[in-house]
Structure 1
Amino acid sequence: MGAHSTLFFSALLASPAVFAQTTFLWDQLAPSADLDWVTCYSRFQCTRLEVPLDYSDASVGTADLAVIRLPANVSKSEYRGPLLFNPGGPGGSGVDTLVQAGPSLQLVFGSEYDIVSFDPRGVSYSTPVAAFFQTDAERALWNAGSLPASLNASSDALPFNWARGKLLGQLAAQRDTSGILKYMTTDNVARDMLLITQKFGFEKLQYYGLSYGTVLGATFATLFPDKIERILIDGVLDADAWFNTNLTIEATDTDKVLQSFFDGCAAAGPELCAFYEPTAAGVADRLTALTESVRTHPVAAITPVGYGIVDYSFLRQALFTSFYVPYMLFGPIAQGLAALENGNGSILLSIVQQPAFECDCSNDTVPFHLNNGEAVFAVQCGDGSKVTDTLEELRAWYDNAAKTSKFVEFLVGSNRVSCAGWQVYRDDRFEGPVAAANTSFPLLLLTTSADPVAPSAAALKTLAGFPGSAIFTQDSPGHTSMTAPSLCTSTYFRQYFQNGTLPASGTVCAADITLFGAPAPSRRDALSAEEEELLAALKVISEAVRPVITSKRIN
């Protein structure tokens, strides 16, 4: 949602956004009704595509989508058209992600495809942008006042965040001078994807979507069941829950990821896990004691790039962030927890800290490029059913949802609470149900064995809505398969796109990586050069999508 749009809109612990290091200026590229490609980012091609703001009323005007492709590298007779990629969010920049991961994605899926991505309407380089704040400095001040973040941190945490949701909703409505907000809905982005495909000269979509990109893919399949060539969705959310602004189901497996931290640390040993205890229960007890200690005695911390307070909310947010990418963050998190026991919060702070804000008044060529926070709020709230609960009703709703997971405040509660003040809706927006009795080609779904925000229950519910489609599992904790490279998984991806092969029922793939850097089980045969290259590519993709699927703040 990657991050997932279900993440708390005011949380402070986002990973820094990865942006394309280039002098390419999107605002100097003239929009066109066609795909007028120009060279960009050295090996890519870019265009700004005009799309209708409202597909049912052309008089409303247009938006300009930033579209990028890595061209196929085959003969004309072998060319198989565009393969669209959405890294999640909503609000993630497809442009920036593809600049980093494009060649690696092409290695996975095949050089016969143009690997294509885009910034959805209102996002990043696409215009007009969704912006609730007039300057970057104003946005930074908003972020600085976003605590308390954890809805169970104190008795006033939920009312505080409910009020902030009301405030942000009012700001959004008052400052929507371009009128973009009500047209940023997922159904419109699905229509944009069909238009992009058609501009390439193809009538059926080829698509790979992660996290929130699974809602987008499933919505497309519902609206255009006869326009599917291939749709692969990875880290599958319950799209009906998304449109109902009730994401309780998404927290179903969250605590499984926490358990994988306990189990993995105990198995890894003290040299690999600094928070080691001989048993998983011992690790759990140690974390409980530390959490209660920090609740009553927060720790001040200074790092080379800033400073902060490691309190109860910060600790829980840091843990929850690590659930998305456990293979990357469990080791550092364990080091930070061990140091925190000794009064040193700097390690934990440095893992998830963003550099302090500095005003750059000269950097105004593309205003609000990194506006993923505003986009998260606009899409998740504008898509969903209007929240009319009173504060008392929300508290009762949250208390019930909290039975699903120990960390539900960062997912279910935040979504519904933060959208309580949203005011901008399009009356004819798509609201579900997400299903299609017949599709022109089966969808392929992938779930991990323990996804903190996209559980297997959500994937199975989605599967039931598309008869004839298939699902398989990657045996790894974390959000989407791309957080844990797997040669097995990538093989099924390629087979699906190359020849339409679906995995057999019950297929499970292992990850080619271990928690805490523990030694991997020995293989019967050494990896080939091609497999080594593919694993390296999968790691590049993992790095590229990480900021999108873990981002939580108004950037």
Structure 2
Amino acid sequence: MTCTSPSSGPAADPRRPEAAPAVVRRPAASWRLGAGIAAAALLAAVCPATAVAAPDTAPAPRLAWATCADGFECATARVPLDHHDPRGAGIDLAVIRHPADDQAHRIGSLFYNPGGPAVAGTLALPLMLGQFPEQVRKRFDIVSFDPRGTGASAPVQCFDNPADEQALLAGTAAGYPEGAEQQNTWADAYQRLARQCAARNPDLLPHISTANVARDMDLLRRAVGDRRLSYLGTSYGSYLGATYANLFPDRVRAMVLDSAPDPVAWSTGRGDQATTTGTLLRNGSDVAASRVLDAFLDQCGQAGTQTCAFSAGTAAATRARYGELLQRLHTRPVAVDGMTYTAGSALEATIISLYATNPAPGIPDTGWSHLGTRLQTLWAATEAPSTPGTPLPPVLRQSPDQALAVVCSDSANPPARADYPALAVSARARSGEAGPYFAWTDERCADWPARDRDRYDGPWNHPTARPVLVVANTGDPAMPYEGSRAMARSLARAQLLTVDGYGHTVLANPSDCAARYETRYLIDGILPAPGTVCVPTKPPFTG
């Protein structure tokens, strides 16, 4: 039997604004840019889901927009903490928008989620706005927000003082643990972190799932006056988009999912994977990172020292040099620019640096050429004689609280009694040095105390009112290309646009070709032909 969306109706002109009934505005507390719900188409009878949208009884938030940065407006949106109790306790979401440049021909709002999870949209949108195609910026108000539990939206905070969290994690190995002693210390620290988070956020943690963020976004859609949602989500934001598309299939106007996971692998896995393999390993993130690391070292070697300072002259020699660098750091960590690098932290920094092949907006010290320079600096530091008795600075760790709150309550992971050391060994066998890093990143969820009862675990094939466009780089180091292919296959109405290039997300690694197809789709609803392949505008080591 084919699942249908009973309320989709005939497709309207995608260029026409789809306005909801006017929303009465009232003054609300303004939010400044800082540093730092309807039922889902009642398909359950035919295609039962493990979770459904909460009843559409919550009022749309009233947004009082105020200037918060050059060209941007911000507001605060009040949404229910528990969408099953829409008139009960509420939380405030920080919202930001950039008004359409051509208001006379404005189509509506395009919602943007930068991924993470737990990346604040209010900070990401100003950085990434210039990456959006020009015609998209002209025709849409681009709207983003800090998802619940993140940034300035009822943030998950596990410690009053960040120094206390640093002290808790200071004894854990940088990157990932090796040997029984380090592994036990790691597991104990993240068990204590989970307990601390539960004690400090007892009301919030049970309601932090992606599905509840999707329900929040549907309220924001109503608040800005759009009948259907236009959306662009990158990385984990593509999973949020897929969740929305299956909770509210009749409300999808246009949806670009950039660098997606396999939704089944991300949520539960297949068979017994939920209890035997963690989220990132199921997703194949270790394999993706290993492949792209090899590609970086190969291209660095071929590029020569003028564009990649770490080049050893050939691909094979450069790969060998990187392996030797990790061995050196394993026996003798070094300090560079006030930071300590161990083998684990150097590997972690390398993987993250693969995300942008060229300097990212607002972050000039990024790109593969910069990574080559950083690795050469570490190589030189390992050759310099050490000074006896000179203490190394502590390895500072970014707080994982908000990201763990989403992933650990939203996605199935093996419990603490699982054999994570064996998972790490298996991961190393299939993906080299990257494998254990991802296995032990998953372990941080082993003792997490909460899973959201309203999370969405599928099915992922509810037919949407309009088709979805999935976009992906073939050489993505975080979300493997195979995940985007699986996402396109899983959704009932989706098309895959391939970019034969490297880097995490097409938005951050631009392709003029892909941008033209995305623009045509978002404005006119026209998909690229099946099998379309684009190339990046600027490949690695070309600038």
Does the TM-score normalized on the shorter chain lie above 0.5? Answer: yes
2:368 maps to which of 327, 330, 333: 330
Task: Indicate if the aligned counterparts of 1:265 and 1:280 stay in contact, CA closer than 8 A.
Answer: yes
What are the superposed Cα offsets for residues 423-472 of structure 1, whole Å, 9 maximum, x if unpaired? 0223x322412512411111111111111121111111111111331111
Q: Is the 8 A contact 1:262 1:283 kept in 2?
A: yes
Contact 1:437 1:465 in 2 (8 A): no
CA deviation after TM superposition for structure 1 residue 394, in Å:
2.5
Q: Distance in 1 between matches of 2:374 and 2:102?
A: 48
CA contact (8 A) 1:91 1:372 kept: no
Deviates more, 1:94-103 or 1:336-345: 336-345
Q: 2:404 corresponds to which residue? A: 377
Q: Does 1:404 align with 2:441?
A: no
**Contact 2:340-2:395 within 8 A present in 1 as well:** no
Gaps of 5+ in 1: 1-22, 347-352, 358-369, 519-555
User: Which residue is 1:289 aligned to?
Assistant: 324
Supply the AA of the counterpart residue of 1:331: S
The residue aligned with 1:149 is 175
Find the partner of 1:91 among 114, 118, 130. Answer: 118
Which stretch shifts more, 209-218 or 250-259? Answer: 250-259
Q: 2:164 aligns with which of 138, 162, 181?
A: 138
**Is structure 2 residue 246 aligned with structure 1 residue 246?**
no
Q: Matched residue of 2:84: which SS?
A: coil
- Equivalence for 1:20: none
What is the CA–CA distance in structure 2 between the aligned matches of 1:475 and 1:482, rounded to whole Å? 14
Distance in 1 of aligned mates of 2:139 and 2:305: 47
- Report what 1:206 is aligned to: 230
1:107-162 CA distance string (max 9 Å, x none): 25241211100111121112x221001123324434544424324x4443333322
- Could you tell me which of 75, 87, 94 is aligned with 1:47? 75
- Please give the TM-score of this superposition, normalised by the length of structure 2: 0.79
Give distance in 1, aligned partners of 2:303 and 2:488. Answer: 36
What is residue 33 of structure 1 aligned with on the other side? 61
Q: Which amino acid aligns with 1:74?
A: D
Q: Does the Cα contact within 8 Å between 2:339 and 2:393 map onto a contact in 1?
A: no
Secondary structure at the counterpart of residue 273 of structure 1: coil
**Matches for 1:268-417 after TM superposition, within 5 Å:** 268-299=303-334, 301-303=335-337, 307-327=338-358, 328-343=366-381, 373-385=400-412, 387-391=414-418, 393-406=419-432, 407-415=434-442, 417=443
Aligned partner of 1:58 in structure 2 is 86
CA RMSD across the alignment: 2.8
How many residue pairs match? The answer is 464
Partner AA of 1:35 in structure 2: L
Give me the whole-angstrom Cα distance separating, in 1, the residues matched to 2:190 and 2:223: 39
Q: In the aligned structure 1, how far is the partner of 2:73 from the partner of 2:230?
A: 19
Distance 2:470 2:399 in 1: 26
% identical equivalent positions: 29
Code of the aligned partner of 1:269: G
Query: Are 2:529 and 1:504 equivalent residues in the alignment?
Result: yes
Shift in alpha-carbon separation, 1:101–1:324, aligned structure 2, 3 A:
closer
Amino acid at match of 1:121: R
Displacement of 1:310 in angstroms is: 2.3
| Residue of structure 1 aligned with 2:255, choices 231, 236, 239 | 231
CA separation in 2, counterparts of 1:183 and 1:445?
28
Partner of 1:207: helix, strand, or coil?
A: strand
| Counterpart in the other structure of 1:105 | 132
- Conserved 8 A contact 2:209-2:410: yes
Conserved? CA contact 1:164–1:418, under 8 Å: no
Matched, 1:265 2:300: yes
**SS of match in other structure, 1:221:** helix
From 183, 186, 192, the counterpart of 1:158: 183
Q: Distance in 2 between matches of 1:233 and 1:494?
A: 14
Instruction: Tell me how far 1:52 sits from its aligned partner.
Output: 0.9
Q: Counterpart of 2:506 in structure 1: which amino acid?
A: S
Q: Provide the C-alpha distance between the structure 1 equivalents of 2:422 and 2:317, rounded to a whole number of angstroms.
A: 33
Letter in 2 for 1:250: G
Q: Secondary structure at the match of 1:433?
A: coil
Structure 1 residues 201 and 340, CA, compared in 2 at 3 Å: closer, same or farther?
closer
Does 2:144 correspond to 1:117?
Answer: yes
Aligned mates of 2:102, 2:257 — CA distance in 1: 26
* Contact kept in structure 2, 1:325 and 1:478, CA below 8 Å: yes
- Report the Cα distance in structure 1 between the residues aligned to 2:383 and 2:188, rounded to whole angstroms: 30
Deviates more, 1:187-196 or 1:198-207: 198-207
Contact 2:339–2:394 (8 Å) recurs in 1: no
Q: Note closer, same or farther for the CA distance 1:496–1:309 as it changes in structure 2 (3 Å cut).
A: same
| Structure 2 match to 1:350 | none
Give the secondary structure class of the aligned counterpart of 1:324. coil
1:193 CA displacement: 0.9
CA deviation map 1:221-242 (0-9, x unaligned): 1111111001101111122222
CA–CA distance in structure 2, aligned partners of residues 108 and 39 of structure 1: 23
What SS does structure 2 have at the residue aligned with 1:132?
Answer: coil
Contact 1:108–1:490 (8 Å) recurs in 2: no
Partner Cα distance (1:26, 1:342) in 2? 41
For structure 2, the residue ranges without an aligned partner over 5 or more in a row are 1-29, 35-58, 269-277, 359-365, 385-391
CA distance, structure 1, for counterparts of residue 356 and residue 109 of structure 2:
29
* Residue identity opposite 1:213 in structure 2: G
Which SS does the other structure have where 2:300 is aligned?
helix
Q: Which residue of 1 aligns with 2:198?
A: 173
CA shift for structure 1 position 319: 1.5
Q: Is the 8 A contact 1:51 1:63 kept in 2?
A: yes
- Classify 1:60/1:164 alpha carbon distance in 2 versus 1 (closer, same or farther; 3 Å): farther
Distance verdict in 2 for CA 1:309–1:75, change over 3 Å: closer
Q: 1:71 is matched with which residue?
A: 99
Query: Residues 46 and 436 from structure 1, CA distance in 2 versus in 1: closer, same or farther, beyond 3 angstroms?
Result: same
- Give 1:75 shift: 4.3
Work out the CA distance in 2 between the residues paired with 1:72 and 1:49.
21
Q: 1:356 to 1:281 in 2, by over 3 A?
A: closer
1:296-336 alpha-carbon deviations (Å, 9 max, x no partner): 2332x252xxx243221122122212222233332233223
